[in-house]
C-alpha cells in the first residue's frame, strides 16, 4: 500500500502500537516524537519494515511550526498525543492538516469526553451522543473556535475514537500508569484500540465519534472474597462493534500485559519503588462525566462529559479532554477537514517503549497491594479496559473507512478491580496483590457499538493481560 500517514505521539502507549499496526499494513509512517534519539523510542526502530516505512520527526504538538514537516505529504493523520493543554495541541494539529491539504484525521480521544454529563438519563447506557458537559468541564485554556465546527467549515473529515482504560502488553521497557493502577473501571486492550483506529480510518462509512471499551470488572473478580459494590458505569461500544470492531477477552489482555511486564523487566523495577505513587484518570471520563445522563443508561458517542460539572468537581483532565475533542470536531466542520475521534477507555497492552507509561503503572501498582504499603483497602471500582493494539486498529480503521465519521468510543472489557486481581493471580501468582476493597457507588456504562459497526473487533481480555504481563516481565518490571 505505502500510503503516507502521520502519527503524533508515535512513542506513546497507543501511538507505538498504532505505528506497529500501520507498518504491518504496509503504510508509510511519519511519527512525531519530542526526541527521536531518546532511548524510550528505541522500540520503534525494532518494529518490522521500519527501515523502509518509518520516519521519526522531532515535533511538539504545542509548537505549530514543528508539525509541518511531519504532516507534509501525508494522506491522513492519527492524532494520539493528547497532552495538556490538549485543546491547543489538537488545534495546532488540525491547522497543520488543513495547511498540508490532509482530508482525513482520526483523533484518539477518551471516554472522559463522554461520561462527565450530569444531564444524561440515570441508568441509560452512554453512547457517542453523550458529551461531557462543557460548562461543567470548562477548560483552563479555551479556544474561540471549536475543532468540530472548524473541521466541517474547512472540509476536513474528523473522526474520534474514545477508548476507556487501555490495558495490554507493553512495547516499552518501562510500564504505563494503567499497568500499575491496572483495573477499576472500564477497560479495553491497547491492541484492540489500535485496530479500532485503523478501522475508523479505512472504512468510508465511519463517522463521528466511537466509544472503545470492552470489559468492566470488579476487583473481587481478580482477588476473590470481596464485598460487592453498587456501581454502574455503563458505556456502550455498540457503534464501534457495528463498524466491525472486535475485542480480546479480558483474560488475554491481563495475561499478555503481565508477560510483557516480565519480558521488559518492569516488574522487579516497580516492586522496588515502594514510595512511588501515580494518580491516573482513564480516558473514558471524556464520555462519562455527565451527571445529566440517565442513570443506568449506557453511554455512547452521543454522550459528552459535562464541562460545567467537571469544572465544579475540578476534574481538569476530563475537562481538557472534552474541550480538545469538541474543539477538533468543530474545527473539522468549519474547515472541511475530515476529523474522526476515537475515545479509548483504560488502555493496556505489551509495551514497546523503554519508559513506563501511565496505564502500565496502573496495572503494576496492584503488585504492591495498591498505591503504597500503608494502603490496606482499595476501591472496588469497575474498569473499562481496551487493548492498545485494538485502539491502534480502531484508529487505522477510522482513517481507512470512508464511511467513518464523528467520534468513536473505544472500549472492550468492563471488569471489577477485585475480579481483575483474581485473573492476575492465575496468570501471575504473586503474594502482594491487594486483598481488601471497599464499596463505591458509580453509574457509568460505555458502549463501543458504533465502532464495532464500523468493523472493529477487540482482543479477549485474557490475551491483553497475558501479553501485558509478558512485556512487563521482559522489561524487568515484575519478578
Structural domains present in the chain: 4-474 (3.40.50.720)
List helix spans (H) across 164-279: 177-181, 191-202, 219-223, 238-242, 250-261, 266-271
Q: How far apart are CA 194 and CA 196, in angstroms?
A: 5
Strand partners, 457: 246
pLDDT attached to residue 87: 72
Mean pLDDT of 344-366: 70
The more confident residue out of 367 and 260 is: 260
Phi-psi region of 268 (alpha: psi -120 to 50; beta: other; left: phi over 0): alpha
C-alpha cell of residue 14 = 497507543
**Percent above pLDDT 90 for the chain:** 18
Instruction: Residue 142: name the closest of 310, 315, 322, 291 by CA.
Output: 322
C-alpha cell of residue 164 = 476507556
Integer CA distances (angstroms), 133 to 5, 209, 291, 343, 375, in order: 32, 16, 9, 16, 33
pLDDT attached to residue 279: 27
Backbone φ and ψ of 182, nearest 5°: 45, -90
> In this model, does residue 472 exceed pLDDT 70?
yes
Q: How far apart are CA 344 and CA 330, in angstroms?
A: 20
pLDDT attached to residue 220: 39
Q: What angle do CA 415, 421, 427 make, to 5 degrees?
A: 110
> In this model, does residue 262 exceed pLDDT 70?
no
pLDDT band (50, 70, 90) for residue 356: low
Q: How far apart are CA 465 and CA 125, in angstroms?
A: 26
Q: Which residue has the cell 503503572?
A: 361
The more confident residue out of 368 and 442 is: 442
The more confident residue out of 192 and 287 is: 192
The more confident residue out of 370 and 76 is: 76
pLDDT attached to residue 252: 84
pLDDT attached to residue 195: 93
| Length of the chain in terms of residues written | 479
Mean pLDDT of 229-241: 68
CA dihedral angle for residue 409, residue 452, residue 121, residue 151, rounded to 10 degrees: 50
Q: Which residue has the cell 466509544?
A: 211
pLDDT band (50, 70, 90) for residue 135: low
C-alpha cell of residue 147 = 475543532
Mean pLDDT of 64-78: 95
> In this model, does residue 100 exceed pLDDT 90?
yes
Mean per-residue pLDDT over the chain, rounded: 77
The more confident residue out of 404 and 261 is: 404
Instruction: Residue 105: name the closest of 30, 31, 157 by CA.
Output: 157
Mean pLDDT of 174-194: 61
**Percent above pLDDT 70 for the chain:** 77
With contact defined as beta carbons under 8 Å apart, do 281 and 251 qualify? no
With contact defined as beta carbons under 8 Å apart, do 340 and 151 qualify? no
> In this model, does residue 178 exceed pLDDT 70?
no
Question: Which of 54-58, 224-228, 318-322, 399-403 reaches the highest mean pLDDT?
Answer: 54-58
pLDDT band (50, 70, 90) for residue 242: very high
End-to-end Cα spacing for the chain: 42
The more confident residue out of 134 and 425 is: 425
> In this model, does residue 5 exceed pLDDT 50?
yes
Half-sphere exposure of 389 (CA within 13 A, CB side): 30
pLDDT attached to residue 83: 56
pLDDT band (50, 70, 90) for residue 140: very low
pLDDT attached to residue 28: 94
> In this model, does residue 222 exceed pLDDT 50?
no
Amino acid at each position: 500500500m505505502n500510503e503516507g500517514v502521520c502519527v503524533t505521539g508515535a512513542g506513546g502507549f497507543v501511538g507505538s502500537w498504532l505505528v506497529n499496526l500501520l507498518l504491518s499494513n504496509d503504510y508509510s509512517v511519519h511519527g512525531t516524537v519530542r526526541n527521536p534519539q531518546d532511548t524510550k523510542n528505541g522500540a520503534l526502530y525494532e518494529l518490522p519494515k521500519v527501515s523502509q516505512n518509518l520516519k521519526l520527526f522531532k515535533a511538539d504538538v504545542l509548537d505549530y511550526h514543528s508539525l509541518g514537516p511531519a504532516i507534509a505529504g501525508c494522506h491522513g493523520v492519527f492524532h494520539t498525543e493528547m497532552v495538556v493543554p490538549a485543546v491547543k495541541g489538537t488545534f495546532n494539529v488540525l491547522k497543520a492538516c488543513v495547511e498540508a491539504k490532509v482530508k482525513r484525521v482520526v483523533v484518539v480521544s477518551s471516554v472522559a469526553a463522554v461520561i462527565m454529563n450530569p444531564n444524561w438519563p440515570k441508568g441509560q447506557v452512554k453512547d457517542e451522543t453523550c458529551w461531557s458537559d462543557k460548562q461543567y468541564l470548562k477548560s483552563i485554556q479555551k479556544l474561540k473556535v471549536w475543532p468540530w465546527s472548524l473541521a466541517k467549515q474547512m472540509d476536513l473529515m474528523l473522526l474520534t475514537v474514545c477508548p476507556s482504560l487501555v490495558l495490554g502488553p507493553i512495547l516499552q521497557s518501562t510500564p504505563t500508569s494503567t499497568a500499575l493502577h491496572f483495573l477499576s473501571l472500564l477497560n479495553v486492550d491497547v491492541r484492540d484500540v489500535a485496530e479500532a483506529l485503523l478501522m475508523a480510518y479505512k472504512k468510508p462509512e465511519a463517522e463521528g465519534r466511537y466509544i472503545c471499551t470492552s470489559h468492566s470488572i470488579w476487583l473481587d473478580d481478580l482477588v476473590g472474597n470481596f464485598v460487592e459494590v453498587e456501581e454502574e458505569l455503563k458505556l456502550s461500544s455498540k457503534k464501534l462493534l457495528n463498524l466491525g470492531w472486535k475485542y480480546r477477552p479480558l483474560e488475554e489482555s491481563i495475561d499478555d500485559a503481565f508477560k510483557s511486564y516480565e519480558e521488559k523487566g518492569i516488574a522487579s523495577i516497580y516492586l522496588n519503588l515502594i514510595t512511588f505513587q501515580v494518580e491516573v484518570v482513564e480516558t473514558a471520563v471524556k464520555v462519562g462525566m455527565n451527571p445529566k445522563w440517565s442513570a443506568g443508561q449506557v453511554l455512547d458517542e452521543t454522550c459528552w462529559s459535562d464541562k460545567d460539572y467537571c469544572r465544579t468537581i475540578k476534574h481538569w483532565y476530563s475537562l481538557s479532554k472534552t474541550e480538545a475533542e469538541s474543539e477538533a470536531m468543530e474545527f473539522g466542520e468549519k474547515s472541511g477537514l475530515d476529523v474522526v475521534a476515537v475515545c479509548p477507555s483504560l488502555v493496556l497492552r505489551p509495551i514497546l517503549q523503554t519508559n513506563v507509561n501511565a496505564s502500565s503503572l496502573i496495572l503494576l501498582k496492584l503488585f504492591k497491594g495498591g498505591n503504597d504499603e500503608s494502603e490496606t483497602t482499595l476501591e472496588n471500582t469497575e474498569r473499562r479496559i481496551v487493548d492498545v493494539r485494538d485502539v491502534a486498529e480502531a484508529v487505522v480503521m477510522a482513517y481507512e473507512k470512508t464511511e467513518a465519521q464523528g467520534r468513536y468510543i473505544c472500549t472492550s472489557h468492563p471488569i471489577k478491580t477485585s475480579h481483575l486481581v483474581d485473573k492476575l493471580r492465575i496468570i501471575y501468582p504473586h503474594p502482594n496483590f491487594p486483598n481488601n476493597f471497599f464499596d463505591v457507588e458509580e453509574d457509568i456504562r460505555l458502549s463501543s457499538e458504533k465502532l464495532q459497526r464500523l468493523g472493529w473487533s477487540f482482543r479477549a481480555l485474557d490475551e491483553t493481560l497475558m501479553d501485558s504481563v509478558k512485556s512487563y516481565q521482559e522489561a524487568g518490571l515484575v519478578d
